[in-house]
Structure formats: structure tokens, C-alpha cells
């Protein structure tokens, strides 16, 4: 492979000279941030809203551990970030306790018992537009309440009322609507107008909530109170369950009381790997995030990025080819491990990554020439989402990504219960080869089966350096989640950026199909784009930001451990510590 690398560098060296930006070499990412990062020793939370960050801080200051605080943030996001924070959706939590134990909670939604493989196809076998995205039929059985409470029961230290209390207060007393939330509601007014239960809360008299107004959600406060009083039973049975099932009956959905009673989160072993000596702890299937992140990092180990300038044509080329190969594997090999034998050990093996990277040449490989890799040797083994990161004073770390799928999920609020239902059914492969909301492809591994979890890209991750936590990281962003996490890691590990520089730097993305390299504004110079074109790449500037990272980095300064937080400048979240 080293030979392949040197051929690649020789072939590209003249192009690099033309396109590499001198400024990039002096200041990776071209980001200037002269302000010193705020550092804290006792605990830190980074999330997508200041209200949720405060909820986590309240629990940490009250003596709760990182899991207690993470559960508090999860419930508070269900109130303050209705686009993605949720009760009616699902998510993943990765935990690394200070004593070295690590684990994950999978509370991904499941297909209802009445779901069928072809439920989103018409009689001619074509995908019916929007059916898996908007309205009751788009919803999988929610997992967030059960998952957060399972993590609290096993790894938390505080009672339910203490960790759900801040969310109940927030819903009952209200919070000030951020311009970002007001804009998102206004954008979706057309979809919301199909559902009176949604309009009543987010656009009373069809006037969308305005920035700066106080937003109170009494129905949601009552639902949260039922969960606080009765645990998971306060959601999956009794009043809340009755409301969900009534909404299904009124709106053509299929989730039943039995589906709700049957929902159980799974505690799963994390998927682990290494990158240049750091240990990567991430989310296993039904997330594709952890396996693909580790596979891509393994392929990257074959390159010396010190000799490849940041966001030069050579850098973009190597990264795009690595991403292309990993996403081809995603389409074929990944699905819910309870229903499909996912070859995780193969996908994350260094040997497999070497064979995969060996097919990278010195120009773009058309996606049509890349198929999923041969896993036969390994077959025996068994934009809207939100991410937050928490670290406590003892060094317990929690990395959580939760989602409703699209912004505000199915757009359908459960009448009387005050929360949105997800549209996660769209994350299944409705039909082999038919792209989902994110343009992702899939086949049998991710086909719809009752009770099965749809494949996800969510990549909550914790990185250990020299035996101690170094980085807690994750992001929303649909299919771009995995490549965003990858670049935030690479920017720090290979390009020496600070956490803020690593997060703020423009990002690139390739996902096999479409056969296109997407980039954020400012990622490349015109000369670099010309070079990429000459190498065979189609490039497209994204019109929306790629991801919204909330991360915490733990560093040694003068022999003392400090936490530095980062809440993406693309969003309106906050990182706080004490």
C-alpha cells in the first residue's frame, strides 16, 4: 500500500503545487480564532440549545453524573428543539465510564407489527412519494423515552424526577423562541397545515411562532410528568399510549398498543477500533456510523497527511475515495443486527481496509465501478437530528445522538400529548436501489420487517488517548453525519487543529451515490476545484450547512485535566461547564 501511496503523491504533486493554499498550510482550515477557549474542570455539556445545556448543567451541579445529565439534556431537547429533540423518535447513546467500562444504548425506532416490506410502493412497484416521510404511516415505534430511562436506571445515580424536572419546567413555563426555530417552523407551515394538532401548537391561527416570543407546551409538560411519575409505562401504556394509538387511528397510521408495549431498548457492546494509536468507541449496528467511521479511519492510516495539505486536491481526492468505498459497503452490508447478519468485524478490520484502499488510484473512481466489498470471509460473525456531549468531574463521558429523521419528523403532533412522531420509516430501504431522503441506497439488509430497526448514520463517538478520554463527539446531518465526525477527528488528529477550528472548518462529503463530492462554501479554492474536475470529480457546493457538531475535548494543561466545549457555529447551541 505504501507503494500505492507514493505513486499517488507523485502523480498529484504537480497538481497539489497548483492548488494547495499556502494560507491553509500556515493555519489549517484557514480559521482564525484568537480567543482562548473556555476551560472547565468539573463538568461540561454541549448541546444544540442553551436550555438543554442548562438542564444538563443543573443536574451536574446537583451532584449527578454524566449519564444523569445526559438524560436530562435528552428530555430538555424534546422541549426546546422540536425539530429533532424528541419523545416520539429514537437515538443512540455511547457511554464510557471513568472506570474504563464502555457500553451503548440503542433506542432506535422499530417498524410496527403491521409494517410490510412493500408498504411504501404503489401497485406498479414504484415508491409513493412522501408516504414514508410525512404523516402517521411514516412513524416507527418511538424509542427515546425507554432508551433514556434504561440508561438512567443502569448507569445514572439520580431519581427520574430530578433529571426530567428541568424539561417539565421548560415545557410548562416556556422558553424564548430562537430565530432558528421560528424560521424552521415558518418553512414547514405548508406541511404543518395538514395536521390540526401540529398547527395548534406551532402556528395557532396559522401564524407561525415568532422569534422572541415565550413558547409554553402544557400538553408536553403533562406527558413528561407522566413519564417522570411512572417511568417508561408513562409513555408506552396508559394515557400517552392511548393518545398515540388514537392519533394513528385518526391519521391512517399502524402503531398499536401492542407495538408500544413490546418496545424495548437494547444495551449493545460498542464497536471499537483505533486510529494512529487512539481508541475509537462508537455506535454499532443498527447504526452504520460506528462501523463506517472506523473503516474510513483504517483506510486513512495508509496515508501520511502531514505531506498532504489540508483541503488540497490531493486531500479531497483521498478522502472522497475512502468515503465512496465505505458508503458502498453501507448500502449492502448494514442493517439491524437482530434481523440481518452484519459483518462488523470484517468492516472494521485493518486488513479489509487495506484491501479496499488498495483500489484507490490517482484519479476519481466512478461509483459505478465500485461495489460493496467481498465480506464472504467475514460472514460468520454475527436535516434533522441532534447530538450532545457530556463529561462529568470524574471523567464519565456520554455521547448521544437522537432524531425524528426529517426536521419535525412526520410533522404530526400526537393530539393531547404535545410531541412530534418521527418519520424514521424512511430510513429503511423502501425498495432496493431507490434513494431515501438522504439519497442513500440499500437492499435486503435494510428492508422493512415488523419489529426491525431501520439503519441509521448516527455516530455518537468517544475517543480515548493514552488511556484517558480525549474527545466526545457527534453531529446531526443525515448521511453526512459519519463524514462530519470523521473530519472533525481528522482535523485535530492529523492537522493539529483546535476543537473549534476542527468544527468550524468547511466540510466535504461523498457517499458513493450520487457520484458527487459535496462541499461547504469555502472548502476549496477555485484552483483546487479545477484540479478535482481534471481528476474526474463532479463537485457541488452545498446550499445548507453540513452537520452541527456538539463536542467536548479533554486536555492536559500543566498536569491538570481540563474540558473544552464546542457547539457548532452553524447552529444556535451552547457548550457550558463549571
533-542 contact pairs (CB < 8 A, 24+): 534/15, 535/15, 535/313, 535/317, 535/362, 535/363, 535/364, 536/363, 536/364, 536/366, 537/316, 537/317, 537/320, 537/364, 540/516, 542/509, 542/518
The dihedral over CA atoms of 435, 485, 88, 269, expressed in degrees to the nearest 10, equals: 100
Helix (H), strand (E) at residue 316: helix 313-333
How far is the CA of 37 from the CAs of 353, 475, 501, in angstroms? Answer: 36, 20, 11
CB closer to ligand GLY out of 19 and 295? 295
CB closer to ligand GLY out of 314 and 440? 440
Report the distance separating Cα 171 and Cα 168, nearest Å. 5
| Length of the chain, in residues | 578
**Using CB under 6 A, which residues numbered 534 to 553 contact ligand GLY?**
none
Confirm or reject binding of residue 405 to ligand GLY (CB under 6 A): yes
CB closer to ligand GLY out of 54 and 484? 484
Helix (H), strand (E) at residue 90: strand 90-96
Which strands make up the sheet holding 550-557, listed edge to edge?
39-40, 560-567, 550-557, 468-473, 461-465, 278-282, 271-275
Q: Is the distance from CB of 168 to CB of 225 less than 8 angstroms?
A: yes
Pick the piece of the chain touching ligand GLY (CB under 6 A) from 181-189, 346-354, 452-460, 549-557.
Answer: 452-460
Nearest of 436, 409, 475 to residue 327 by alpha carbon: 436
Residue 533: CB minimum distance to ligand GLY, A: 30
Among 165, 469, 478, 573, binds ligand GLY (CB under 6 A): 478
Confirm or reject binding of residue 385 to ligand GLY (CB under 6 A): yes
**Number of C-beta neighbours around residue 537 at 10 A:** 20
Confirm or reject binding of residue 482 to ligand GLY (CB under 6 A): no
Catalytic residue among 49, 104, 256, 385: 385
Nearest of 34, 30, 53 to residue 550 by alpha carbon: 53
CB closer to ligand GLY out of 403 and 492? 403
Pick the piece of the chain touching ligand GLY (CB under 6 A) from 22-30, 32-40, 450-458, 464-472.
Answer: 450-458
Pick the piece of the chain touching ligand GLY (CB under 6 A) from 45-53, 138-146, 456-464, 506-514.
Answer: 456-464
x/- site string to ligand GLY, residues 287 to 316, per CB under 6 A? ------------------------------
Among 106, 329, 427, 568, binds ligand GLY (CB under 6 A): 427
Among 312, 349, 456, 539, binds ligand GLY (CB under 6 A): 456
Residue 22: CB minimum distance to ligand GLY, A: 38
Confirm or reject binding of residue 282 to ligand GLY (CB under 6 A): no
Pick the piece of the chain touching ligand GLY (CB under 6 A) from 14-22, 70-78, 211-219, 454-462.
Answer: 454-462
Confirm or reject binding of residue 409 to ligand GLY (CB under 6 A): no
- Tell me if residue 531 is catalytic: no
Residue 109: CB minimum distance to ligand GLY, A: 9
**Beta-strand (E) ranges in 340-457?**
385-392, 397-403
C-alpha cell at 469: 478520554
Neighbour-count burial of 465, counting CB atoms closer than 10 A to its CB (0-12 exposed, 13-18 middle, 19+ buried):
middle
CB closer to ligand GLY out of 282 and 405? 405
Confirm or reject binding of residue 457 to ligand GLY (CB under 6 A): yes
The catalytic site residues sit at 385
Q: Which residues bind ligand GLY (CB under 6 A)?
A: 385, 403, 405, 424, 427, 456-458, 478
Amino acid at each position: 500500500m505504501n507503494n500505492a501511496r507514493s505513486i499517488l503523491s507523485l502523480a498529484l504533486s504537480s497538481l497539489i503545487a497548483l492548488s494547495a493554499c499556502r494560507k491553509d498550510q500556515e493555519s489549517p482550515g484557514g480559521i482564525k480564532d484568537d480567543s482562548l477557549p473556555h476551560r472547565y474542570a468539573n463538568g461540561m455539556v454541549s448541546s444544540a440549545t442553551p436550555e438543554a445545556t442548562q438542564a444538563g448543567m443543573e443536574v451536574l451541579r446537583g451532584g449527578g453524573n454524566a449519564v444523569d445529565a445526559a438524560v436530562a439534556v435528552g428530555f430538555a431537547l424534546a422541549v426546546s428543539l422540536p425539530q429533532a429533540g424528541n419523545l416520539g423518535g429514537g437515538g443512540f447513546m455511547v457511554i464510557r465510564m471513568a472506570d474504563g467500562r464502555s457500553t451503548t444504548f440503542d433506542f432506535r425506532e422499530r417498524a410496527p407489527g403491521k409494517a410490510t416490506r412493500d408498504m411504501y410502493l404503489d401497485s406498479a412497484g414504484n415508491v409513493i412519494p412522501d408516504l414514508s416521510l410525512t404523516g402517521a404511516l411514516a412513524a416507527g415505534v418511538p424509542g427515546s423515552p425507554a432508551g433514556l430511562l434504561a440508561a438512567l436506571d443502569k448507569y445514572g445515580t439520580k431519581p427520574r424526577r430530578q433529571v426530567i424536572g428541568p424539561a417539565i419546567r421548560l415545557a410548562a413555563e416556556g422558553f424564548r423562541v430562537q430565530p432558528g426555530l421560528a424560521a424552521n417552523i415558518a418553512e414547514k407551515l405548508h406541511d404543518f397545515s395538514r395536521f390540526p394538532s401540529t398547527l395548534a401548537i406551532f402556528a395557532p391561527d396559522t401564524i407561525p411562532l415568532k422569534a422572541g416570543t415565550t413558547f409554553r407546551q402544557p400538553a408536553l409538560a403533562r406527558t413528561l410528568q407522566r413519564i417522570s411519575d411512572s417511568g417508561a409505562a408513562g409513555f408506552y401504556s396508559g394515557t400517552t399510549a392511548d393518545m398515540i394509538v388514537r392519533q394513528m387511528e385518526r391519521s391512517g397510521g399502524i402503531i398499536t398498543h401492542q407495538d408500544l408495549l413490546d418496545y424495548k431498548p437494547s444495551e449493545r457492546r460498542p464497536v471499537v477500533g483505533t486510529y494512529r494509536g487512539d481508541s475509537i468507541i462508537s455506535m454499532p449496528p443498527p447504526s452504520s456510523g460506528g462501523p463506517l467511521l472506523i473503516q474510513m479511519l483504517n483506510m486513512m492510516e495508509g496515508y501520511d497527511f502531514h505531506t498532504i495539505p489540508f483541503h488540497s486536491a490531493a486531500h479531497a481526492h483521498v478522502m472522497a475515495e475512502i468515503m465512496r468505498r465505505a458508503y458502498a459497503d453501507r448500502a449492502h452490508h448494514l442493517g439491524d443486527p437482530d434481523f440481518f447478519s452484519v459483518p462488523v468485524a470484517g468492516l472494521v478490520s485493518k486488513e479489509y481496509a487495506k484491501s479496499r484502499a488498495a483500489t484507490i488510484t490517482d484519479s476519481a473512481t466512478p461509483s459505478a465501478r465500485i461495489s460493496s466489498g467481498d465480506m464472504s470471509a467475514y460472514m460468520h460473525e454475527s436535516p434533522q437530528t441532534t447530538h450532545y456531549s457530556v463529561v462529568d468531574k470524574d471523567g464519565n463521558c456520554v455521547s448521544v445522538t437522537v432524531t425524528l429523521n426529517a426536521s419535525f419528523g412526520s410533522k404530526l403532533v400526537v393530539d393531547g400529548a404535545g410531541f412530534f412522531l418521527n418519520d424514521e420509516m424512511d430510513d429503511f430501504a423502501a425498495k432496493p436501489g431507490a434513494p431515501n431522503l438522504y439519497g442513500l441506497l440499500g437492499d435486503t439488509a435494510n428492508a422493512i420487517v415488523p419489529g426491525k430497526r431501520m439503519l441509521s448514520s448516527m455516530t455518537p463517538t468517544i475517543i480515548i488517548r493514552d488511556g484517558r478520554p480525549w474527545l466526545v463527539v457527534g453531529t446531526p446531518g443525515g448521511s453526512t453525519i459519519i463524514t462530519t465526525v470523521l473530519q472533525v477527528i481528522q482535523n485535530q488528529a492529523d492537522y493539529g487543529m483546535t476543537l473549534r477550528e476542527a468544527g468550524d472548518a468547511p466540510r466535504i462529503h461523498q457517499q458513493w451515490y450520487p457520484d458527487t463530492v459535496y462541499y461547504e462554501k469555502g472548502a476549496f479554492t477555485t484552483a483546487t476545484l479545477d484540479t478535482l474536475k481534471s481528476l474526474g470529480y463532479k463537485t457541488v457546493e452545498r446550499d445548507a450547512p453540513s452537520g452541527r457538531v456538539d463536542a467536548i475535548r479533554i486536555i492536559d494543561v500543566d498536569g491538570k485535566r481540563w474540558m473544552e466545549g464546542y457547539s457548532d457555529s452553524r447552529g444556535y447551541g451552547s457548550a457550558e461547564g463549571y
